[in-house]
Amino acid sequence: MDILCTRPGCSRINSFADLDNRNTLQTAQQKFCTSCGMPLILGGRYLPVKLLGQGGFGAAFLALDRFTPTMRFCVVKQFQPAGDLSAAQIQVALGLFEREASVLEKLGNKHDQIPDLFAFFPLVVDNPRTGKSDQFFYLVQEFINGKNLEDELADRGPFSESEVLNVLEEMLKILTFVHDKGSIHRDIKPSNIMRDQEGTLFLLDFGAVKEIAVGSVPGGGSTGIYSMGFAPPEQMSGGQVYPATDLYALAITCLYLLTGKSAQDLYDSYHNTWHWRQFAPQVSDRLAQVIDRLLLPTPRDRYQSASETLAALNSNLPSPPSPPSHSSTKIQGTPPATPAVPPPSGQVQHQNQPAFSTLELLGCAAFTGYASTLIWIATTSLFSSPGISMGLWGMMTGGLIFAQWGRIIEKLEMLVITGVSTVLFWFLPLLYLKTPLVTSLFLSLSQSFPMLSTPFWGVIVMASFGALGLVAILSLFRLVYQLLRLLL
């Protein structure tokens, strides 16, 4: 059996033929590195066999647990800070490492989608080079056999909306549990979300977790641990973090999976606006509105909990995010050199209505043309005065346009209004019999199409022409606009 040395700077692969025997493997007291003398069987039971990754604060190894019936794999994390860190920085890093162990013990062993903690222990060994003792810390956790979402994206390209919805819903369920236990993850990003071979999603890396339930200081600041491009402004400025902090990072994660683009490419720092929709025009209003609200710069204007976000996501049509309150909202200062930062200190970013896609605009035009034609027929039939009928027609049509522009009424409401108004005209001939144009159109239709034997069909034909006409006009204007953009 080959065992990897975990001493920083050594990493020698040591071969022990006797450990291929299971009885010897489970009864051997210890094995030592043939190069540096480092103990190889960690905690008396874990045998590192492969280096999984290495960073500024430590390394992670794939290891075997020799005291389990199946010799299960696990992940052994070693705390080994870079040599250029100060003593104070090392203590902070060690505190984060110990915090990850305690959080995994509290959360992982109680939730199926958070890795379990198996062990946490120190190891003091002699250093043959310096003649002094070195102290290492090890954390052993459940091994998730799969691929993180950052690697998935690199392999296969952007996710579909249904796939992103699945990720969002699963992470919201996990965060509901995490936040209810008084913790904030603070480092949500694609590389910290793992999908195992059975398709189950796991949330990893709890080293940056902030405890908020016990011992927290009101208004206390956050450490500088975060991932650039995913952290919200309150975290990057070192301010207090909230459950909404994780939700912001989760929204950025969803955009990254949807578009394959970083926050820098999706945020217009000059205008202080997100323009991600142009890179994902296929996204439904339901998902888009939830993401837009989670991206608001002020934490209290976002959804306040994962459960609230999940409820909005599962509703038929979430209400648009409420605009920030200008009277008492403290605007976060702009952290340096980041694209995903809201406006600088002293500026308030107003909530913009989500942009309309081309299909949405054409749908709105068809609805407005159909409905406004019905309104014109009804007002001219009910009121003999042209001034009154035209005034009512203008106000009601303007109200419909305003409601669509503000997304007060959308797809479902448009269908309901169209259906109800058509039924009303069917049962109430008073709404159209006194309109001369309807009567003359009915006479023409009845001669050409005998099956259309009631004036009601004249109403439907007129309304349909109104819808098609407005769609044609809008399409023509958009075509001219695009041509002018190309020419100018």
C-alpha 428 chain-centroid distance = 49
d(CA 134, CA 123): 8
Q: Say which amino acid occupies 433.
A: L
Phi, psi for residue 360 in degrees, rounded to 5: -65, -45
Q: HSE, CB side, 13 Å, CA atoms: give it for residue 181.
A: 21
Three-state SS for 217?
coil
DSSP type of residue 367: H
Say if CB 451 and CB 443 are below 8 A apart: no
Residue 302 in tokens = 């976002």
Catalytic residue among 2, 112, 187, 301: 187
d(CA 207, CA 190): 16
d(CA 74, CA 141): 6
Residue 448 in tokens = 């050409």
CA proximity to 294, closest of 150, 188, 447: 188
Q: HSE, CB side, 13 Å, CA atoms: give it for residue 402.
A: 6
Known active-site residue 292: no
- Please name the residues in contact with 145: beta carbons below 8 A apart, sequence gap of 6 or more: 73, 196, 197
* Residue indicated by tokens 């068809």: 366
- Burial letters 21-58, b for 16+ CB under 10 A, else e: eeeebeebeebebeebebbbbbbebbbbbeeeeeeebb
List, as residue ranges, the binding site for ATP.
Answer: 77
Q: Which residues carry out catalysis?
A: 187
